[in-house]
A and B are shown apart, each in its own frame.
Chain A
Amino acid sequence: MVLRGVYSVVIPTRFLTLLAHFFILVCLLWDKEENLRLCLLKYVTEYAGYFHNEYVISLALSLTSVAFEFFGFLSGISMFSELHSLLSIVCHSVAAFMWSISYIERWDCSSPYSWYLFIFCSGLPLTSELAVFISFIRRVNLR
């Protein structure tokens, strides 16, 4: 069983980048008290709840969209569309790198980088995935 042509590269790469993004999100959510400690010590208590909620909600939304895309990939619906796979590979690898750098460099939590990462690196592949889903459902219904 050898995948032909461009899919022999695209499918493993997409699997690994999706897995890496999922991985880093799970690790960040697991350790949220540790990661937020520096941020929460710096700001007064009234902002602490806001930063905690922002962290948890953006990570949870990203995780849900990555899980949804993983399901679409593994069930085969969007596995063989080249454009969507390329977009997904680029977005998720950028997201995995950015989250890792934000963890290592200890970025300040006052800048809303987690929302930007959610919108551009999880939201964009999610909309593309939904478009592939809709075209799949249309194709199945027309038959």
Chain B
Amino acid sequence: MGRQSVQNVLESFSDRIFPGLSDIPQDFSFVSGQSDIVYDVQSSLVLQMSLYFNLVYYPVWLAIILASFVAKHQCFGWFSYLLLGIGVSACCVTEATRIYLGMSGNLSEQVAELSTFWFTTLLVQLPLVTIILIVALSLSQILEIVALSISSLLMAVQLCVSFTTLRNVARLRQF
């Protein structure tokens, strides 16, 4: 019931960006009655592994980011600190939703979830992580730099692999 409403929201969002995307069938009912159709599973192992390890790494990353944010208290005026706080909290929330969308989209081979995952990673998470990384580099906070570098490495792998996975899944469902 909850998954269905998540999928409805994602379909309306993806349809706005790619008109006609919601015409793609979301289940495999088009193969009923055609017994000679054979299709490969298009879930990507590399994507699933990177998302699983990202999920395992998430509590560590969260603790480091929050501790480094609290440690930056003396370095900024109140307005810059507030903006950085908004960025950090948006980053934390987006990371959790992104990992969930990626895992469920990859396992159930849904175009809407995978495309939302790809766009959220590219357009929301990547700029936020870049900004926090630049701030950490300018303050030479090594712990945060290394933690964010590992997170961006995982994100880079996910971006490259999920692009081809998304293309394969959309091709699979295009009948």
Contacts and interface: CB of A to CB of B under 8 A. Distances in A.
A1 B48 contact: yes
Contacts of A16: 56-57, 60
A30 B142 contact: yes
Nearest to A79: B49
B53 interface: yes
Range of interface residues on chain B?
Answer: 10 to 19
Contact of B56 (A1, A12, A74): A12
A31 B38 CA distance: 57
A74 B146 CA distance: 19
Interface string A15-31: 11001000100110011
Interface string B49-82: 1001100110010000000000000000000000
A1 B103 CA distance: 9
A6 to B, nearest CB: 16
Nearest to B51: A1
Interface residues of A, number: 11
A15 B56 contact: yes
Contacts of A26: 142, 146
A27 B146 contact: yes
A19 B142 contact: no
A132 B142 CA distance: 34
A16 B142 CA distance: 19
Interface string A21-49: 00100110011000000000000000000
Given A1-B48, A1-B107, A19-B150, A27 B56 contact: no
B158 to A, nearest CB: 14
Contact of B57 (A1, A19, A31, A74): A19
A23 B57 contact: no
B143 A27 contact: yes
A110 to B, nearest CB: 26
B55 to A, nearest CB: 9
Given A16-B56, A26-B142, A27-B142, 12 more contacts: A1-B52, A1-B103, A1-B107, A15-B53, A15-B56, A16-B57, A26-B146, A27-B143, A27-B146, A30-B142, A30-B146, A74-B49
14 contacts: A1-B48, A1-B52, A1-B103, A12-B56, A15-B56, A16-B56, A16-B60, A19-B150, A23-B146, A23-B150, A26-B142, A26-B146, A30-B142, A74-B49
